[in-house]
Structure 1
Amino acid sequence: MEQSREAAAARAIDYMRRHLSEPLQLADLARVVPFSPFHFHRLFRDVTTMTPARFLAALRMAEARRMLLHSGLTVTAISGHVGYTSAGTFTTQFSRLVGTSPGHFRQMSRLLAGRPCHVLAGWLRNAVTEVTRPRLVLHVPESEPGDLVLVGLRADGEAADASTTWAVAADGAQVPVVARPGPYQARVVLVRGDSTLTRALVDEEPTSHLVGTAELVLPQDGCAAVPVTTAPPRPTDPPALALGPVCRLVETFTRLAGPSGRPGPAWSAGRTALAAAAIA
């Protein structure tokens, strides 16, 4: 039964991907499965944790990010390719979901595209001081030296596209997280050291990253330890880090790097800034 539900959601997602430029409605997607709109909406949300409309918005932003990175098309042209009739509306939505403007994302993602994660992990390892009193330590057993582990925390009960707090760790078999006490939904993205953030989070190459989720509670006192199993992304998983800190990492690393791509004169002065960006 569960496999048939996932297969139905996957068919709808495949249809979304092939028709991003069209004004898709709930009834259009329900006919693909086929189910009633009400049944389809409930099934899709149960399988993916997102409504069809929010998942479609995430797919459109993911495709826009790929086009910004790899093409020379204008923002106006890209907005039309992903289903927006107004470049202004597209820019507002992109900035809200991705966390930066389309033009800034293009600039920053191209700067980072050639830097393997094991290099960034080395920078991060040298820059971030130990978190002495984390409320949570996530154990990610699949992590290897040189990997980057990104952990997104969303307060339990908030919408899937609500604001997310991110923590980033190098060689993240154990990831310390600092946040307010309470229940959270956690999403983990493990990016392999021989890959790049853009290959994993923009191009979504299946072999470049693993994903995992967990429900957890940050205690009022003490520190919780939670294991998270990661696996290759499934067709029904939302785009990796649709709400993620891609550009924040890009900007932080490139600001601290010299022209050669190695830490430059700003490195020492920027250690505190990088630590603040890495542990949100």
Structure 2
Amino acid sequence: MVEQAREAATAQAIDHMRRHLAEPLQLADLARVVPFSPFHFHRLFRDVTTMTPARFLAALRMAEARRLLLHTGRTVTAISGHVGYTSAGTFTTQFSRLVGTTPGHFRQVARLLAGHPCHVLAERLHSTAAEVTRPRLTLHVPGSESGDLVLVSLRGKGRVTDAPTAWTVAAGGAAVPVVARPSAYHAQIVLVRADSTLTGALVDEEPASYLVGAAEITLTPGGTAVGRVVVGPPRPTDPPALAIGPVGRVIETFTRLSGSPSWREPEPPAAGAALATTAIA
């Protein structure tokens, strides 16, 4: 009952975030919704979601911005105001840091990739990705099939950061190798189904298109580890699928693999932006 009450309180705060993205929400504002003291609310929220309220709110704002970039012709300035930023420059910097590319370039590559089913992208990824012969970490995802795509994000436990420590994307149906340094990690998984599209799962968050999972992983110096992550439908307290990492670079990679005729080489990422390939440490 206690855990259910904690989940319900967190979900209530998240629902308030979603309905007020354009407003300058503060920790005290969110705490009053529950209601708890700001200190207790911050600790509760992080325990339930593994993210601070500020990071979760930023993830929700970026998720809505990505949907607007894909499906509307609104300017970047208009979108930045719609999701709560008073400065388009600040929004672009934040977007580039979290997504791995600028808003304008994300719009280009996401539209090129829309409509391509994941099983086609998984086949091309399987045929072109470099093999990791001795991974420090191998993750098994029960229920993953050969045409699925599996995105893995590792965040160092105890680190307060928006960017993952390590992450990778692989074709499903087998063990997923992950390159990472020895440490304790919180692992997040997004499994995109074979018949779904990458944009449908990661941008539109269509309910039947993806599953999520999480696990605690520890890598020891000089050793290897094998983990098992059970996935299921997203819960109201799960972060947006796009919060897993800078998936703008994943979308760029698959746009190239899809052979889209209008593909152009990506613009240089903003300073400090994380880059995504098929495996990052």
TM-score by length of 2: 0.89
Worse-matched range after superposition: 37-46 or 230-239:
37-46
SS, match of residue 242 in structure 1: helix
Q: How does 1:80-119 map to 2 (within 5 A)?
A: 80-119=81-120
Structure 2 partner of 1:278: 278
User: Which residue in the other structure is 2:132 paired with?
Assistant: 131
Once the two structures are TM-superposed, the CA of residue 130 in structure 1 deviates from its matched residue by: 2.8
Residue 240 of structure 2 aligns with which residue? 239
Q: CA deviation at 1:54?
A: 1.4
Residue 218 (structure 1) aligns with: 219
Q: Give the Cα–Cα distance (whole angstroms) in 1 for the partners of residues 138 and 77 of structure 2.
A: 43
- Partner residue of 1:177? 178
Q: Is 1:79–1:86's contact at 8 Å kept on the other side of the alignment?
A: yes
Q: Is the 8 A contact 2:166 2:179 kept in 1?
A: no
Give the drift of 1:7: 0.3
The code of the aligned residue for 2:76 comes to: V
Gap change, CA 1:243 and 1:278, over 3 Å in 2: same
Q: Does 1:46 align with 2:47?
A: yes
How far did residue 189 of structure 1 move?
0.7
- In structure 2, what is the Cα distance between the partners aligned to 1:216 and 1:121? 26
1:160, distance to aligned residue in structure 2 (A): 4.7
1:43 Cα deviation (Å)? 1.2
The residue type equivalent to 1:203 in the other structure is D
CA distance in 2, matches of 1:61, 1:229: 27
Q: 1:153 offset after TM fit, Å? A: 1.4
2: CA distance, partners of 1:105 / 1:217: 34
CA RMSD of superposed structures (Å): 1.7
TM-fit CA distance, 1:257: 4.0
Secondary structure of the residue that 1:157 maps to in structure 2?
coil
Q: 1:272 matched to which residue of 2? A: none
- Map of 2:167 onto structure 1: 166
Residue matched to 2:229: 228
Other-structure match for 2:205? 204
Matches within 5 A, 1:137-148: 137-148=138-149
Q: Secondary structure at the match of 2:145?
A: coil
User: Which residue of 2 is the match for residue 60 of structure 1?
Assistant: 61
Deviation at 1:75, TM superposition (A): 0.2
Secondary structure at 1:215's aligned position in 2? strand
| CA–CA distance in structure 2, aligned partners of residues 137 and 130 of structure 1 | 13
Shift of residue 169, structure 1, vs aligned partner: 1.1
Q: Measure the CA separation in 1 of the matches of 2:121 and 2:34.
A: 43
Answer yes or no: is the 8 Å Cα contact 1:252–1:277 preserved in 2. yes
How far 1:170 moved relative to its partner? 0.6
What SS is found at the alignment partner of 2:204? coil
Query: Match of 1:59, SS?
Result: helix
**Structure 1, unpaired ranges of 5+:** 262-275
The residue identity in structure 2 corresponding to 1:169 is A
Check conservation: 1:21, 1:81, Cα contact below 8 A: yes
CA deviation vs aligned residue, 1:241-267 (integer Å, no higher than 9, x gap): 325242212222323443479xxxxxx
User: Which whole-Å CA distance do the structure 1 matches of 2:90 and 2:260 have between them?
Assistant: 36
Relative to 1, partners in 2 of residues 1:238 and 1:258: Cα closer, same or farther, differing over 3 Å? closer
Could you tell me the TM-score, scaled by structure 1's length? 0.90
Q: Which amino acid aligns with 1:116?
A: P
Higher relative contact order (CA 8 A, sep 6+): 2
Q: Is the contact between residue 117 and residue 148 of structure 1 (CA under 8 Å) also seen in structure 2?
A: yes
- 1:157-205: CA deviation from partner (whole Å, max 9, x where unpaired): 2125134421111124310111222222211111100111111111111
**1:98-143 Cα distance to aligned partner (Å, 9 max, x none):** 1111111111111111111100000011112432111111010120
In 2, Cα distance between the equivalents of 1:247 and 1:98?
Answer: 5
